[in-house]
């Protein structure tokens, strides 16, 4: 009697470290692949926090809302003249990245933008991003 051979494959599920997430986020942002970064690295319940003085963008919760907020921001941009993203500074489950953008915003003209974003990681996913930038 032939008994079917059942192959059991052990797949190791590894959780990305804060360092790995930070490096991947920086890499994708430098390539302008913001939505890919969000879909790949963010928790479905992540929170994205804007300063109170934010011109239009608001604090949102949930991956779908974060992606939509990214679309809103991209929709405000007429042209990107330059964009730089720093290496991440990592401390425990938190990391920070600085970004400098030189963009032309619809109805506002050319605007230099500088911000620091602080990210919190839990269980291998970004659960919070908090943006800091100077208001007008």
- What is the pLDDT, as a whole number, of residue 57? 85
- What is the pLDDT, as a whole number, of residue 56? 76
pLDDT along the chain (136 residues), means of 10: 55 82 97 96 97 86 96 93 97 98 93 96 98 82
**In the CATH scheme, what architecture does the domain 18-132 have?**
Roll (3.10)
Burial 95-131 (b: 16+ CB within 10 A, else e): bbbebebebebeeeeeeeeeeebebbbeeebbbbbbb
Every domain of the chain and the residues it spans? 18-132
For 28, phi then psi, to 5°, come to -65, -40
For 33, phi then psi, to 5°, come to -100, 60
């Amino acid at each position: 009697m032939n008994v079917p051979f059942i192959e059991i494959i052990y797949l190791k599920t590894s959780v990305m470290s804060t360092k790995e997430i930070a490096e991947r986020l920086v890499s994708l942002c430098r390539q302008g692949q913001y939505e890919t970064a969000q879909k790949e690295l963010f928790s479905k319940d992540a929170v994205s926090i804007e300063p109170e003085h934010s011109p239009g963008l608001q604090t949102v919760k949930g991956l779908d809302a974060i992606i939509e907020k990214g679309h809103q921001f991209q929709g405000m941009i007429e042209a990107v003249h330059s964009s730089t993203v720093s290496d991440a500074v990592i401390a425990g489950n938190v990391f920070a990245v600085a970004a400098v953008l030189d963009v032309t915003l619809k109805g506002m003209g050319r605007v230099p933008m500088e911000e620091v974003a602080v990210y919190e990681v839990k269980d291998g996913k970004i659960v919070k991003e908090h943006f800091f930038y100077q208001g007008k």
